[in-house]
Amino acid sequence: MPSLLELQRDLRSALLADTDAPPSTVMGGPIDAAARVRVYRNNVVGNLTKALRLTFPAVERLVGADFFAGAAAHFISATPPRTADLYEYGSAFPTFLATFEPARGIAYLADVARLEWAVNLALHAPFVPAVTADTLLDIPESQQADLRFTPHPSLSLLTLGYPTKAIWEAVLDEDADTRASSLAAIDVTVGGEVLAVLRGSNGLTFLQLSPKAHGFACAVTDGQCLADALVLVPPEDAAPLLGGLIAHGLFGRCDLPEDRSQQNRGCNR
């Protein structure tokens, strides 16, 4: 007699398999086992495809509904969800599209998917106050080199190979004529862009980053202390870069080592 876990695993495998063969644990009845599994499989794939459509609307417009449904079916079979929260489903979809052979002719498609996933993360991230310049006022200058910043939960740093934001904005325009003319005006050979995507106080924020700002932001959000991150930029650029990133709300926490932060109310421990 199989255990409940074994029954669940058998059914899960059957629902994600591209075959009509039902698992041996599914019993027959007025509707045979294979037909019953097909009903459940169609519901599962349909619901997951709908979740992907909601997260990647620009991708779907670029390729069309039928192409998107086919790509989604391949992705779902290879990468089923690991949690019940469908807002978290699709993180691997951009990587999947980058290697999906039928999409090879749309070189920028994976970058558009990456941007849409960053937008999804920003919109559904926890509401956490961003670190502000006032947060740092009580920290003695002698301790500032030890500061470590944690990225805001809504933040994504993207290095994109194409003018992705322009493509994303154009393809989501609801007016078909405007959409077509905007897309036609985009030169995909001009090179890429570096973006910080996050949810700011005024809603969704897109921040164009220079190579210096991007390298510094990556170092800081990867957990390097401030002193180590500042080595990456000229001294005269350090204060403007850090001030700009703080002003745009890129950080959710700043921390000092435990034994030196007891008196610093402005800094999290």
Residues 30 and 157 in one domain: no
Domain containing 37 equals 1-106
Residues 115 and 226 in one domain: yes
Contact 77, 52 (CB under 8 A): no
Residues 147 and 259 in one domain: yes
Single-letter amino acid code for the residue at 257: P
Residues 116 and 246 in one domain: yes
- Average pLDDT by consecutive 10-residue portion of the chain (269 residues)? 63 61 56 64 85 97 96 92 86 97 96 98 94 83 87 96 97 93 93 94 92 92 90 87 92 76 41
Q: What is the CATH number of the domain that holds 251?
A: 3.90.930
pTM: 0.83
Q: What gap in Å lies between CA 74 and CA 82, rounded to an integer?
A: 16
Residue partners of 242: CB distance under 8 A and separation at least 6: 216, 226
| Predicted confidence (pLDDT) per residue in 119-168, tens digit | 999 999 999 999 998 888 878 878 888 999 999 999 999 999 999 999 99
Contact 155, 147 (CB under 8 A): no
Q: Considering 86, 106, 126, which residue would you say is the last residue of a domain?
A: 106
- Provide the pLDDT for residue 5: 65
Alpha-carbon distance values, 203 to 124, 154, 206, 263 (Å): 12, 11, 10, 34
Residue 49's nearest CA partner among 28, 66, 27 is 66
- Provide the pLDDT for residue 121: 96
Residues 88 and 161 in one domain: no
> How many separate domains does the chain show?
2
Residues 80 and 60 in one domain: yes
Residues 192 and 118 in one domain: yes
- Provide the pLDDT for residue 261: 42
Residues 181 and 200 in one domain: yes
Residue partners of 70: CB distance under 8 A and separation at least 6: 102
